[in-house]
A = this chain, B = another copy of it.
Amino acid sequence: MTGARRPHTGRRRNEAAREAILAAAAGLLAHGEVGISVDTIAAAAGVGKQTIYRWWPSKGAVLLEAAVAQAEIQAPVPDTGSLGQDLDVFLVATFRTVAANKSLLRNAMAEALRDDAAAKVLKEFAVSRRAALAEILERAQQRGVAIEDRDLTLDQAFGVLWYRILFEHDELDEQAAERLAAALARSAAG
């Protein structure tokens, strides 16, 4: 990765360097490494360490930004007209993405637990994901479906997700997503 010679951009920020850093970080995170060091990221990106610290406040912040950028789910919020189906589509897509980025997300959480700047990024990510699911519930309510406890429903969805990411005791496959969707539909619109 070091080989990619980037042209200097004079006194403007070098966007290519920024991308190389995030790419290198994402690569190391996804690879499941545990002790990722700044030197390693810098070397993998072919970048000086200072270039990292010029733009991010700490190692954790870089890793988190890389993780979030990587895990950013393309899954658009579905709108099938049925709460059950919306939940199912959303969760199946979410589980799929998460399963593909599991070690990255575990690493992200590990960083967030030690680094406030990283925690902030992870929380923003979580908030944006919650908003997507909240929209689905919101629409159902507007259609007249009674939702018992919206926040708790969101916690249950993402709680199960993160619990399985972190404890690895059970699968993160399509079937798991569908069962969770069904349970949430029962519980929310009890």
A binding-site residues for B, Cβ under 8 Å: 34-35, 106-107, 109-110, 113-114, 122-123, 126-127, 148-149, 151-153, 155-156, 158-164, 166-167, 169-170, 179-180, 183-184, 186-187, 190
Contact = CB atoms under 8 A, between A and B. Distances in A.
A156 B183 contact: yes
A83 to B, nearest CB: 14
In the complex this chain forms, how many copies of it are found?
4
Given A34-B114, A123-B167, A167-B126, A190 B180 contact: no
Contact of A158 (B123, B151, B163, B186): B163
B159 A163 contact: yes
Contacts of A149: 179, 183
Contact of A166 (B113, B153, B156, B183): B113
Contact of A159 (B107, B114, B162): B162
Contact of A183 (B107, B161, B187): B187
B155 A170 contact: yes
Contacts of A34: 113-114
Contacts of A107: 113
A160 B156 contact: yes
Contacts of A126: 167, 169
A155 B162 contact: no
A152 B179 contact: yes
Contacts of A35: 114
Given A187-B183, A187-B184, A163 B167 contact: no
Contact of A152 (B110, B114, B183, B190): B183
